[in-house]
Chain A
Amino acid sequence: MRRKVIFGNKLLPYLLLAPQLIVTAIFFFWPAAEAIRYSFLRQDAFGISVMFVGLENFQDLFADERYLQVVWNTIWFSFWVTVLSMGVALLLAVLADRHIRGRDTYRTLLIWPYAIAPAIAAVLYIFLFHPSLGLLGRALNGFGVPWDYRLNGDQAMLVVILAAAWKQVSYNFLFFLAGLQSIPKSVLEAAAIDGASPSRRFWTVIFPLLSPTTFFLLVINITSAVFDTFGIIDALTGGGPGNATQTMIYRAYVDGRVNLDLGSSAAQSVVLMIAVMALTLVQFRFIERRVHY
């Protein structure tokens, strides 16, 4: 789709586009190309010589059991963050969509966590789950449950999942609420007249009509769980204990920043790029009809 009426100037559109294109070229395309180039190179330990190693970085990566563990961590983490945050958000949105008193107040009180940075969410969760400082951490230990997410990998994973899901709920809540509000009331009334019970109405009418929203959120949530949770993990567990909570982004950062293994880090970047492209393409196929070019 394009508009019929346009301005005829020749130079002006390029000037208008220039800032965006220049930034995009220097800070997006150039680094992406560099990542691809580095992923085929290997530096010696002293950083003096560089040689072309073909796909060796990738082979090493997928032969490394620890990296496979990191990939599995990422999948496990993303799955639970998505399921938890979407489930809670859907429940709250369905309830907040009912005609009850204080609807707008509830909405306000449920959306503000959107503003909280992942790293700050992590700090908040320390004060909930820290074994000796946190409200729940202390309570658990008090009840005789040995709780220390700094030593127990499963507990660490649980805490980062909870923190990431908690932060994501309000975003999902907003979209579910918008989706619910766009369902025509006449459809619901028709279902009610047909004698469907409230829960039947939800599963046979509302939920199917929400499926575009649900699918959209599914992709967005997976993407955000994979890519936007660096701060949560860094502040809460630093990827530990061991590498129990290391995700792919975190590992790419550690290998580049701490281990200075640029070849491997670049190869990981390329793997991530492919992942994000796949996710975006899935999403794009879905929004195609909405976003016209």
Chain B
Amino acid sequence: MSQAQPAIAAPVPLAAEAPRRRRFLGADLTTHVILLLGVVLFALPIWIVLMGSTHDAATIGRGEVPLLPGSEGWNNYATAWSEGNTRRASVPVSTMMFNSAVMALLITVGKLAISITSAYAVAFFSFPGRMLCFWAIFITLMLPVEVRIFPTFQVVSDLGMVNTYQGLIIPLIASATATLLFRQFFLTIPDELVEAAKMDGAGPMRFFKDIVLPLSATNIAALFVILFVYGWNQYLWPLLVTTSTDVETIVIGIVKMLGAEADTEWNIVMATTVLALLPPVAVVILMQRWFVKGLTETEK
């Protein structure tokens, strides 16, 4: 009896559902097709470069645009890594990668450190000039390095910081965005938590270290991704303050490799491009969860 029951009931919902199902399947298919097109749109340029980097210079120079892997991959990457552009005296990619890594990491760590402490001061203390300090930091949002290129260069050069890591890094280290995000987060820490810590005998620095820092872990991770990408991808500023190849970053290095077209080793450029892409893309993908959360919460 219990078996018979569904047999009678079944036809009704099935009949109602069949056409709807089909329509949904059709819509799903369209969705997949368009999304896949989107994925291809993003992946194609990278694919071309990735495949090109495994062929020799002549193949690319002839304009064959190979879409399948070749046999020169190991050579190209080894050459780029240890020598860079062989036809012109150029810096090995390993050096440029190192410079980029130093710059990106120091900018990231520096921005995080000075932002979290200033946000802590503004959120957890009351002192004369508090709002003034806050606005001074906030207003830097309106002064990106791009709009004050030369005067900033002038200051850096007056301080003797041209062609140094300090010159590359310190002027980029102030961060209104990170400060704002941390401050927003600190304001969500309940008053009672601060009071409980006070009752437990924690002073402001102890509270910072034991409670605020651990609670900020997610925000720090998210900002790490955003700021690392920002640091690694810097172009205009390094272009201005580095004239020596010692502190040349990889983003600058690639554009310099392009130079005069006739003289360009395209396969090396392609291998270098892939290498330059790897660190920030890896950071974004590996830390995707925090990054997505942080990005959408930071800038809104």
Q: Which residues of A contact B (CB under 8 A)?
A: 1-10, 12-14, 16-17, 19-21, 23-35, 38, 88, 91-92, 95-96, 98, 100, 102, 106, 108-128, 132-135, 138, 166, 169-171, 174-175, 178, 198, 216, 220, 227-228, 230-231, 234-235, 249, 252-253, 256-257, 262, 265-266, 269, 272-273, 276-277, 280, 287, 290-293
Contact = CB atoms under 8 A, between A and B. Distances in A.
Contacts of A2: 187
Contacts of B204: 7, 9, 12
B35 A16 contact: no
A23 B258 contact: no
B144 A227 contact: yes
A221 to B, nearest CB: 12
B141 A115 contact: no
A147 B142 CA distance: 39
A13 B125 contact: yes
B52 interface: yes
Interface string B45-62: 110110010000000110
**Chain B contact residues: over half helix, strand or loop, or mixed?**
helix
B140 A31 contact: no
B200 interface: no
B35 A231 contact: no
B35 A92 contact: yes
Contacts of B207: 7
A108 B43 CA distance: 12
B188 to A, nearest CB: 10
A99 B224 CA distance: 31
A106 B35 contact: yes
B143 interface: yes
B140 A24 contact: yes
B43 to A, nearest CB: 7
A227 B295 contact: no
A267 to B, nearest CB: 11
Contacts of A108: 285, 288
Given A3-B123, A12-B125, A35 B148 contact: yes
Contacts of B191: 3-5
A136 to B, nearest CB: 9
Interface of B: 27-28, 31-32, 34-35, 38-39, 41-46, 48-49, 52, 60-61, 63, 65, 67, 113-115, 117-118, 120-127, 130-131, 133-134, 136-137, 140-144, 146-152, 154-156, 170-171, 173-175, 179-180, 184, 187, 191, 194-195, 198, 203-205, 207, 229, 232-236, 239-240, 251-252, 254-255, 258, 266, 269-270, 273, 276-277, 280-281, 283-285, 288, 292, 295-296, 299-300
8 contacts: A13-B130, A27-B156, A111-B292, A120-B251, A123-B258, A123-B269, A124-B45, A249-B147
B142 A280 contact: yes
B48 A32 contact: no
A49 B116 CA distance: 45
A27 B171 contact: yes
Given A2-B187, A17-B118, A252-B150, 12 more contacts: A20-B137, A34-B151, A108-B285, A110-B39, A115-B281, A128-B44, A135-B44, A169-B42, A178-B296, A249-B147, A257-B150, A292-B187
